[in-house]
Amino acid sequence: MAADVKKGIDTTKNPIPFEMAQVPGPEQAKCFMPKVMGAIIKKAKRPLLVVGAELFDDPIMFDKMIEMGKMGIPIAATAHSVKGFVDRGYMENVYQIGLHPLTNYLRFPDWKGLDGQGQYDAVIFMGIFYKFANAMFATLKNFNRDIKRISVDRYYHINANMTFGNMAFNANDYHAAVDEVIAAMKK
């Protein structure tokens, strides 16, 4: 299983919701190693990277997100995170939209997407205020199960399908794990 994937940062430890009492029910996210995560994102036909304002607290993450963007994954910049992309001069496939309206659209199969090309099959959350991201995952978990819910954030996201364990207090490991995801996507 996931934990068997050799070497690299172990992102499967600490599967505890970052707000501990967020335990919604029997269906809970599984933790995956970065390489598996990268491979699955790569396989998605219509992935969407969804990033939030916590990127401003750890600006190096903007660069990592841009790297993903350059690999052709469109970016939904929620809250006011688009400012980080504007400041870095990368707006190629970046869309400015709130997480709430975005999730509202994601729950309808007939939505045509931010680029008009159709609904997404996977969303990858990153840098979003924990409780808010958790709730928007809950919307999709309950009301549109056709979209795969992936978190590459530093928190264990219980309402995702795939997530890391908690890495909130170890920035270095977390950065390395995201780099491994990106490397796996490039393979």
Partner 1 sequence: MATKEGSFSVEDMKNVQINIGAVVKEADEWDQEMGPFPKPGVATLRDWDYKIMNRYKIMYAPADDTCTLCTYGPCDLTGNKKGACGIDQAGACGKIVLIACLMGCCAHAAHGRHLYHWCLDKFGDMKFDMGDEILVDSPLYQTIIGKKPKTLKDFDEGLAYLEEEVVQLVASTHTGQEGYFMDFESKALHTGMMDDLGMEICDLLQIVAYDMPRGAADAPLIEIGMGTLDQNKGVLIAYGHNLAAGAEAMIYAENNNLWDKVDIGGVCCTAFDLTRITETGRDSKVPKNLGPKAKIAGAMGWWRKMVRAGVMDCVMVDEQCVYCDVLGDAQMRKIPVIATTDKIMLGLPDRTNDPVDQIVEDLVSFKMPGVAVLDPTKAGEIGIRVAIAVKPKRAEAKIQNLITAEQFKEGVEKCTTCNECAFVCPPHIRISDLIAEAKKGNLEAFSSMYEICVGCGRCEQSCPQGINILDLFEYANRQYVKNQKFRMRAGRGPARDTEIRAVGMPIVMGTIPGVIALVGCSNYPKGTKECYDIAKEFVDRGYIVVTSGCMAMDMSLYTDADGKTIWEQYGGGFDGRNICNTGSCVANANIMGAAIKVATIFARRNHRANFDDIADYILNKVGACGIAWGAYSQKAASIATGCNRLGIPVVVQPHSVMYRRSFMGRADKPEDWMTIDARDGSLQQVEPAPEAMLYIAETKEEAMLEMAKLCFRPSDNSIGRGIKLTHYCDISMKYFGKLPDDWHLFVRDVKDLPLVYKEDMLKTLEEKYGWKIDWKAKKILSGPLRPADVSFDPTLIARKIRTKK
Site string for partner 1, 68-97 (x = CB under 8 A): ----------xxx-xx--xx---x---xxx
Contact region for partner 1 (CB under 8 A) — 29-37, 63-71, 123-131, 171-179? 123-131
- Give the span between the Cα atoms of 127 and 133, in whole angstroms: 9
Residue 8 or 15: the one with the smaller Cβ distance to partner 1 is 15
How many residues bind partner 1 (CB under 8 A)? The answer is 49
- Strands 47-51 and 122-126, by their bridges, are parallel
| Alpha-carbon distances, residue 172 vs 6, 9, 26, 83, 108 (angstroms) | 19, 10, 32, 25, 38
Q: What is the DSSP string of 34-56?
A: HHHHHHHHHH-SSEEEEE-GGGG
Site string for partner 1, 141-160 (x = CB under 8 A): xxx-x---------------
- For residue 38, report the phi and psi dihedrals to the nearest 5 degrees: -60, -45
| Alpha-carbon distances, residue 166 vs 7, 15, 157, 158 (angstroms) | 18, 6, 8, 11
79, HSE (Cβ side, Cα atoms, 13 Å): 15
Residue in 1, 7, 21, 187 binding partner 1, rule: CB under 8 A: 21
Q: Using the rule CB under 8 A, is 25 a contact of partner 1?
A: yes
Instruction: For the segment 94-113, give every residue that binds partner 1 (CB under 8 A).
Output: 95-101, 103-105, 107-108, 111-112
Residues that bind partner 1 (CB under 8 A): 16, 18-21, 24-27, 52-53, 78-80, 82-83, 86-87, 91, 95-101, 103-105, 107-108, 111-112, 128-132, 134-136, 138-139, 141-143, 145, 168-169
